[in-house]
Structure 1
Amino acid sequence: MKIFTYILSAIAIALLIFNVTKLDFDSLFEGESVVALITIFASLCALALLQILRISKAIEKKSRK
């Protein structure tokens, strides 16, 4: 499970970096930049959820002991 979350985190970070390169800072809310902003937000949400999953698994592991 740990490796799986790290792989998904790496994919989310790669998507985040890729979409930052797609942003047009002169017109953020037009065309391809809107899609990039939405995908950046989704990547950040995925990273937050994966972090919550990692923390909950660590708590579960400690509570079993």
Structure 2
Amino acid sequence: MKYFAIVIIVIAFGLGVFNITKIDTQAPFEGESIVALITLLASLCAIVLMLILLVSKRIEEKVKTRK
């Protein structure tokens, strides 16, 4: 599970970097820029979710070792 989450984080980070290059700074809410912004937001959400998953798995392991 840990490696799966890391792979998803790397892919989402790559998509985020790619979409940052597609944003037009003169008109960020028009045309392809809005699609790039939405995709950037989605990739950031995926990164946050995977980080939450990794932290919850680490907490689960610590709770199991205490018993």
Deviations 1:15-52 (A, max 9, x none): 00000000000000000000000000000100000000
> What RMSD in Å do the two structures reach over aligned CA positions?
0.4
Aligned twin of 1:25: 25
| Distance in 2, Cα, partners of 1:23 & 1:13 | 16
Runs of 4+ in 1 over 2 A off after TM superposition: none
* TM-score (ref. length: structure 2): 0.95
Q: CA deviation at 1:58?
A: 0.1
- Other structure's SS at 2:14 match: helix
| Distance in 1, Cα, partners of 2:23 & 2:51 | 26
| Distance in 1, Cα, partners of 2:20 & 2:37 | 8
What letter is aligned with 1:17? Answer: V
- The percentage of counterpart residues that share the same residue type is 52
* TM-score (ref. length: structure 1): 0.98
What are structure 2's unaligned runs of at least 5 residues? none
Q: How many residues align?
A: 65
Computing the radius of gyration over CA atoms, which structure comes out larger, 1 or 2?
2
